[in-house]
Amino acid sequence: METVDLLVIGGGINGAGIAQCAAAAGYRVMLLEKETIAAQTSANSSKLIHGGLRYLESGQLPLVRKSLADRKALLKLAPSLVYPIPFYIPVYENSRRSPWTIRAGLSLYAFLSEFDPLGQFKSIPSIHWSKIKGLKLHGLKAVYQYWDAQTDDQLLTQAVIKNARTLGLEVIEHAKCTSIAHKQRHCLVRYQHEAIEHEVEARAVVNAAGPWVNQVLETVSPPLSAEPIEWVQGSHLLLDIPANDGILYLESCFDKRVIFVMPWKGQTLIGTTEVPLTSLMAKPSVTPEETEYLLGIYHHYFSCFGDIAALKKRLIGSFCGVRVLPKQEGKAFDRPRDTIQKVQASHPNLLSLYGGKLTTYRTTASEVCEWLEGTIGKRQTLADFEKLFLD
């Protein structure tokens, strides 16, 4: 039977980042993915590498600071995959957030980025507002420009895996973890690959199964408790409308949530929604209500492209992903977006990850590798994780 130091379950961005960090630290690592690399949430995000300006409103300052530091690192380490992009925030007479609030938020954002050059923001003179093609000008009081970054989430995850493989990572796709027996000093993991049941002995296991994290925990023996979570679907629509050069940060005309209108491969991408799910389908799909909601907001700001029926004819694609949020009272929009790492005293060699952001996968990976070192000891380092270039 094969023996590894670390077995990672899940080939999304978190599993990939942890596997890369651990392989760089000299551990023997295997990663199991039930589908293919980045087939789920990590291919269906809003594709932003960002601090998350809107998280300032819910007081998540440490998360924003951490995300901005990760943004800086990724712009340096993956320049062909993560690139700066301007954001525009139009403020109207009836906007919930006043120009003063936006200016205060952007100043705090710049401060939390430790005055990174990307932290610069400005008010766009009214003479230039019409350069944002099609944007409603009636009632417009101010337009602010600031900077964040965009990526192709699936390509980024694949690039992390490609790099980790050069450090010895073994990846098995179409391999579903079916059970984990937690022994005194290791875990015995079973997985199904090509209709055959396999076994691997792992000194430590990281459960990075994204929305399926608790399903994986249900297969653990002796049994252990799972964190109460909620699944919240987020959808995006792609319209056959030539994109603006930056991202529009818009306040929903229905419920004042923030949605983005983004350039994506030359076309216009709109997202996202927040729809609580009661069960997890293999491939969630965009509901008619979500389509109406997103097109309704787009039409409110870009009425020159026709009514909802005309916009539906220009719909060329859609996708959705599932967020894992801690189960709490209140709106999903205001829930914490930080990653939760859970290890139980009865199962010290098994760590489960809940939630998080694409942007912060490197910080999460470093923290998990600290836990790994504390749990199974250090190895001879192969490479400096802080310097691993991605292409």
Ligand X SMILES: Cc1cc2nc3c(=O)[nH]c(=O)nc-3n(C[C@H](O)[C@H](O)[C@H](O)COP(=O)(O)OP(=O)(O)OC[C@H]3O[C@@H](n4cnc5c(N)ncnc54)[C@H](O)[C@@H]3O)c2cc1C
Token code pair at residue 335: 């829930």
Closer by beta carbon to ligand X, 92 or else 321: 321
- Evaluate whether 247 touches 88 at the Cβ level (below 8 Å): yes
Q: How far apart are CA 132 and CA 85, in angstroms?
A: 14
Return the residue of 12, 105, 119, 284 that touches ligand X, per CB under 6 A: 12
Residues in 278-317 at the binding interface with ligand X, rule: CB under 6 A: none
71 binds ligand X (CB under 6 A): no
| Binding map of ligand X across residues 356-375, x = CB under 6 A, - = no contact | xxxx----------------
Token code pair at residue 164: 């980790």
275 binds ligand X (CB under 6 A): no
46 binds ligand X (CB under 6 A): yes
Task: Name the minimum Å distance from CB 223 to ligand X.
Answer: 16
Return the residue of 4, 6, 9, 78 that touches ligand X, per CB under 6 A: 9
Binding range to ligand X, per CB under 6 A, among 56-64, 115-123, 208-216, 275-283? 208-216
Our CA angle for 231, 283, 330, nearest 5°, is: 15
Return the residue of 208, 217, 220, 369 that touches ligand X, per CB under 6 A: 208
Q: Three-state DSSP class for 263?
A: strand
User: Which residue has the closest beta carbon to ligand X?
Assistant: 12
Residue 36: closest CA among 8, 17, 10 = 10
Q: How far apart are CA 35 and CA 323, in angstroms?
A: 18
Phi, psi of 62 (to 5 degrees): -60, -40
176 binds ligand X (CB under 6 A): yes
Task: Name the minimum Å distance from CB 315 to ligand X.
Answer: 18
Task: Name the minimum Å distance from CB 43 to ligand X.
Answer: 7
Q: Residue with structure tokens 């990976």?
A: 365
Q: Residue with structure tokens 């995959």?
A: 81
Q: Which residues pair with 63 in a beta bridge?
A: none
Return the residue of 321, 347, 349, 363 that touches ligand X, per CB under 6 A: 321
Q: How far apart are CA 187 and CA 172, in angstroms?
A: 18
Binding range to ligand X, per CB under 6 A, among 53-61, 197-205, 285-293, 351-359? 351-359
What one-character DSSP code corresponds to residue 391?
Answer: -
45 binds ligand X (CB under 6 A): yes
Q: Are strands 315-326 and 2-9 parallel, antiparallel or unpaired?
A: unpaired
323 binds ligand X (CB under 6 A): yes
CA dihedral 283, 172, 74, 354 (to 10 degrees): 60
Binding range to ligand X, per CB under 6 A, among 81-89, 101-109, 202-210, 297-305? 202-210
Closer by beta carbon to ligand X, 143 or else 320: 320
Dihedral sign, CA of 175, 176, 178, 184?
Answer: positive
Return the residue of 51, 119, 234, 246 that touches ligand X, per CB under 6 A: 234
**Site residues, ligand X (CB under 6 A):** 9-15, 32-35, 39-42, 45-48, 176-177, 208-212, 216, 234, 272, 321-323, 356-359
